[in-house]
Amino acid sequence: MKSKYIMISLFVVFLLFNPSSCSKSIVKNLPRFNGDLPFTLETGYIGMGKEDAMQVFYYFVESERNPSEDPLFLYFAGGPGASGLYPFLYQNGPLKFNFESSKRHNITLELNMYSWSKVANVIFVDLPVGVGFSYAKTWEASRSSDSLLAVQGYEFIRKWLAENPKFASNPLYISGISYMGIIVPNVALEIYKGKNFYCNERGNQPQLNIKGYLIINPLSDKFSDFNSRFEFAHRLALISDDIYESTKASCDDNYVYNVPANSLCAANLKRVDECIKRIKFGYVLEPVCNVTDMVPTCKDYTDTFIQTWVNYKDVQKALNVREGTIEKWEFANTTIAYDLKKNDTVAYSYDVWSTIPTHEQLLTRNCQALIMCADHDMVFPYLGTEKWIKSLNLPVERSWEPWFVRRQVAGYETTYARRGASIKFATVKGAGHALALYKPEEALTLMDRWLTSHAYLSSSS
């Protein structure tokens, strides 16, 4: 009898200390940030897939308000191929990097007073593997796709909650930006579908308290979101009426694909391109610039600062990155990042074309969605998003109206609802693609008000 207990406890000890299945630690301070971090930051790896061949890195920030009751967000950066460190430092995370006082080899970090961790627990994840500090131990494990990524997101959150069970009952939201509009709804759907399976078949598994999802400037459809750039360019007066009209007359509502087949359309699109090619799609008020333009206003240049910082040995040590697992941390993995008309690569297959059917399925569950769109983003214009939401034919609960922050118009919003499910669609005035970078206070306010509006959900179920 006794030996059996010893065996069991040895096994438990093995599980606890087996470094390949999980490891996590609290980060007390970070190089170039003055003093101890005034929030709780945990970093770690979750082992996933066959024999944990995928090692998935994450940054977890506890809510600075009431971590045991505040919602839990799993946040995906865009790309695919952008690291979770990017939103952590540039968008809605607890730290930001000071553009004015930073130089490439000496960046300064400061607190982001509009961090989402003011009201929520947030996990910024490096997924798929090949991104940030996540790595694969086998070639098979390094390959991914849109559909696999949804399943991986589901596996990640289950395993993460198994390691952090005190957050298992917090309201859970899946969230992300840009390309992750293709992934986030599918992760949420995996969770809704898997929820019952997990409590029925294996009662000891954590039951996920999923409440909904939040997407920012999302890609939702690989035709209509790109196609909407043309209409958007006209609305923002980037192309003239006559260019707009002759293009519209010759292109048959398709400004993206099969263009060479129609020479009149192609010629018109060339004129459109002349008008917009020097404008930054991610923020149409600024010109295109690139990493060689060494001015602080050129984000493409300052973006590279983070890369210098995070590749310092002391930074990786502070983050508890496993030595020797990553050669060099890249700002974004361009091998897997998507662009219009990009074909599959050996590493990644872009196999989900549209998530509109996914949103439809989510609406049949008790699911709440917030969709934020910057109205100066031409990467995935609000127009494409507005159009597909309208196509769902949902009853309007609140009609289109302005919303305010400090008595200023912060954007416009409308809410659709059907049988306990809802979609709130909101624009953010004057923001660009990396929305919270441009309008941090507005982004936090919008997200917080949305949470508060259905806080009752956390006390039901």
The residue annotated as part of the active site, out of 70, 146, 375, 377, is 377
DSSP 8-state secondary structure symbol assigned to residue 335: T
CB of 153 to ligand NAG, least distance (A): 16
Inter-residue contact 410 to 442 (CB < 8 Å)? yes
The residue annotated as part of the active site, out of 63, 178, 228, 422, is 178
Annotation marks residue 169 as catalytic:
no
> In the complex, which residue's CB is closest to ligand NAG?
130
List the x/- string, 326-365, binding to ligand NAG by CB under 6 A: ----x--x-xx----xxx---x------------------
CB of 81 to ligand NAG, least distance (A): 7
DSSP class per residue in 288-324: ---TT--STT-HHHHHHHHHHHHTSHHHHHHTTPPTT
CB of 305 to ligand NAG, least distance (A): 12
CB of 36 to ligand NAG, least distance (A): 18
# of chain residues touching ligand NAG (CB under 6 A): 16
CB of 271 to ligand NAG, least distance (A): 21
The radius of gyration of the chain's CA atoms, rounded to the nearest angstrom, is 22
List the x/- string, 63-102, binding to ligand NAG by CB under 6 A: --------------------------------------x-
Nearer to ligand NAG, 233 or 336 (CB): 336
Name which position in 3, 34, 290, 459 contacts ligand NAG (CB under 6 A).
Answer: 290
Task: Sort strands 408-418 and 135-136 into parallel, antiparallel or unpaired.
Answer: unpaired
CB of 247 to ligand NAG, least distance (A): 23
Give exposure, 322-331, as e/b (b: 16+ Cβ within 10 Å). Answer: eeeebeebbb
In the region spanning residues 142 to 171, those forming contacts with ligand NAG, defined by CB under 6 A, are 142
Name which position in 31, 40, 99, 108 contacts ligand NAG (CB under 6 A).
Answer: 108
Rounded to whole angstroms, how far apart are CA atoms 440 and 116? Answer: 9
The first and second tokens of residue 207, run together, are: 């039951």
End-to-end alpha-carbon separation of the chain, Å? 41
Residue 173 CB-half CA count within 13 A: 27
Nearer to ligand NAG, 163 or 303 (CB): 303
DSSP class per residue in 19-60: TTTEEEEEE---TTS-SS-SS-EEEEEEEESGGG-EEEEEEE
* 106 near ligand NAG, rule: CB under 6 A: yes
* 292 near ligand NAG, rule: CB under 6 A: yes
CB of 336 to ligand NAG, least distance (A): 5
Alpha carbon 457 to chain centroid, angstroms: 23
Annotation marks residue 178 as catalytic:
yes
CB of 146 to ligand NAG, least distance (A): 14
Q: Cα angle at 176 between 339 and 318, to 5 degrees?
A: 100
Rounded to whole angstroms, how far apart are CA atoms 422 and 420? Answer: 7
The first and second tokens of residue 219, run together, are: 């890609």
The first and second tokens of residue 331, run together, are: 């700002």
Annotation marks residue 126 as catalytic:
no
Instruction: Tell me whether residue 147 is exposed, middle or buried, using C-beta atoms within 10 angstroms of its C-beta: 0 to 12, 13 to 18, 19 or more.
Output: middle
DSSP class per residue in 208-240: P-EEEEEEES---BTTHHHHHHHHHHHHTTSS-
* 130 near ligand NAG, rule: CB under 6 A: yes
- Read off φ and ψ for residue 394, nearest 5 degrees: -90, 150
As annotated, the active-site residues are 178, 377, 433
Residues that bind ligand NAG (CB under 6 A): 101, 106, 108, 129-130, 142, 290, 292, 330, 333, 335-336, 341-343, 347
